[in-house]
Amino acid sequence: MTTVSAPADAAVELLAAAAAAGQTIVLSGHVQPDADALGSTLALAEGLRRCGARVVTTFPEPFTLPASLGWLPGAGQLVPPRSVPADVDVFVSLDAAAPGRLGDLAALLTTARRSVVVDHHASNPGFGEIRVVEPHAAATVVLVADLLDGLGVELDESLATCLYAGLTADTGSFRFGNTAPGTHELAARLLRTGIDHAAISQQLFDTAPFGWLGLLSAVTGRAVLERDVGAGLVWTWSTAAEAEAHGLAADQLEALVDVVRATAEADVACVLKGQDDGSWSVSLRSRGATDLARVAMALGGGGHRAAAGYTSTGDREGTIAALRQELAR
């Protein structure tokens, strides 16, 4: 477990008081939530409900829950942003590296009476009233576990399932460099609640529709290796329309970069994901030699040293050209 910081103490005090008063607390992860964003949101929300708070959980448009995460406890209570009440006592942002990652829900940072930001991205610029931001944490769920401890909420199988999903996803099943002794200590604590960790991992990493194989074949077949760009770049692309043609939801594109990153000859892996509005969502991964947080921030995004991303409104060739230029710096 991480050491509870002064901001975490302040967040616990605020959330405990709001729950005791039966106030309305809205929690949201970032746009197109992953297991860490959603697991953090659902676990903290359930903990606050047990403390007496009126809780609303949501995430930004497009409000489409990834099939790989719909089984998480509490996912059925998520509501679209348009259903969020106008009168909000406390807004909690989880795993969002910047206000822009909250979409239209970012307005709650100013319209809610109080706000709390819980995040572990190194690129987080600092926003919100109370900021529980710890770049050294392996995942945002690590910080949520500390908040639940501070609130006096006992971890059970339901809460632990949400937390473990985020922890194993953001550490790549404990393979990534962000894994530390405390990461395994938290994992052991979660396992002691009786969670089925094998079933969680199967849902997150080893389950996909048959169409995924066709998409994977097409996307990896057009991958490009550019050894002379930075410490080496491998990249490819796909689109939401291509995913649909294979019978897949657009969120299936998120897993592509973790396949491409295995390329030994390139330090940086990149997947361009074409969106319906013509923009490109860019996912980046590094094998260790490149600070992708710096690269992504220079291109309007953010993230971690080894994993980051951003959105480009240029065309495909312009988008990859801008990335090449930044990697060459």
Confidence at residue 210, expressed as pLDDT on a 0 to 100 scale: 96
Helices and strands counted in the chain (H then E):
12, 11
Q: Which phi and psi angles does 79 have, rounded to 5°? A: -125, 150
**Average pLDDT of span 43-50:** 98
C-alpha distances (whole Å) from 155 to each of 58, 198, 261, 285 are: 22, 19, 35, 32
Q: What is the DSSP letter of 223?
A: -
Using left for φ > 0, alpha for ψ between -120 and 50, and beta otherwise, residue 298 falls in alpha
Give the pLDDT score at 246: 98
- C-alpha 324/C-alpha 329 separation (Å) is 9
pLDDT in tens, 221-237: 999 999 999 999 999 99
Structure tokens at 283: 């996912």
Question: pLDDT value at position 6?
Answer: 79
What integer pLDDT is reported at residue 67 of this predicted model? 85
Distance CA 146, CA 204 (A): 24
Percent of the chain with pLDDT over 90: 96
Checking if the pLDDT of 57 tops 70, the result is yes
Residue 38 has pLDDT above 50, yes or no: yes
* Cα radius of gyration rounded to whole Å, the chain: 19
Please report which confidence band the pLDDT of residue 2 belongs to, taking 50, 70 and 90 as the band edges.
very low
pLDDT mean over 295-305: 95
pLDDT, average across residues 57-78: 95
Residue the block writes with tokens 């990149």: 270
pLDDT tens track for 88-143: 999 999 999 999 999 999 999 999 999 999 999 999 999 999 999 999 999 999 99
> Looking at the predicted structure, is the pLDDT value of residue 1 above 80?
no
The yes-or-no verdict on residue 5 having pLDDT over 80 is no
**pLDDT-above-70 percentage for the chain:** 98
Report the distance separating Cα 229 and Cα 115, nearest Å: 42
Q: What is the pLDDT of residues 6-27, one digit of tens each?
A: 799 999 999 999 999 999 999 9
Distance CA 141, CA 200 (A): 15
pLDDT band at 184 (very low <50, low <70, confident <90, very high): very high
